[in-house]
Amino acid sequence: MNFEPLKYIYLPSQNAAAYTLLLLHGTGGNERDLIPLAENFGKEYNILSLRGNVSEHGMPRFFKRLGMGVFDEQDLDFRTDEMVAFIKSIADKEGFDITKLIALGYSNGANIAGATLIKYPDFLAGAILYRPMQPFKEIKSAGTNNNVPVFFSSGRLDSTVNPNDTQTYLNNLKELGFAVDYYDIPTGHNLTADDIKLTAQWLATSFK
């Protein structure tokens, strides 16, 4: 496969045994976007922030789409493999524990994080999904026996995501063995202080 490297920023913590927050931006974002958000969760985490390799009218994304809410699943499949391979390739160089990755994705970034959960169910130690959509129409996955924790927050007023589709996605993740904590926040597609507060609480209880 013709994988390409991803642009990234790595910020190590002072803790050799730290978990690493894998930051995955939304459409039009970059590897700097979510670093200020991650700083709300303390200095005990390493930060690995990636930039998607796909450009949509000049806006970085992690995979192509065919229209609003319609994913190019073939490209998503390829880009998920590409991202996982890239992370594995830099783990030794940067010095983070590949078994202690917690994905934190917003919108497009949450969707490739979800694709990673489905394709590589035991690759991530956990995942934070902000405003996600189910990445693949058909879920083909062996699932996990490790009770991998997942934080999932939707916006109650989010016009880009169908609430029925959200419930289906939640059910599918649970059936695959993920321990999903779901939060329906009274907002749209944007992130709020509630997302940050709830995430901080979730991290503190899920990764002591």
Active site residues: 107, 158, 189
Handedness of CA 160, 50, 150, 145 (dihedral sign): positive
Please report how many Cα atoms fall inside a 13 Å half-sphere around the Cα of residue 49, on the Cβ side. Answer: 19
| Kind plus residue range of the DSSP H or E element containing 155 | strand 149-155
User: Are 87 and 10 within 8 A, CB to CB?
Assistant: no
How far separated are the first and last CA of the chain, in Å rounded?
A: 38
Integer Cα distance of 46 and 98 in angstroms: 12
User: Are 192 and 199 within 8 A, CB to CB?
Assistant: no
Q: 22-42 as b/e, with b when 16 or more CB fall inside 10 Å?
A: bbbbbbebebebbeebbeebe
Residue 67 token pair: 């229209």
Residue with tokens 């009770």: 147
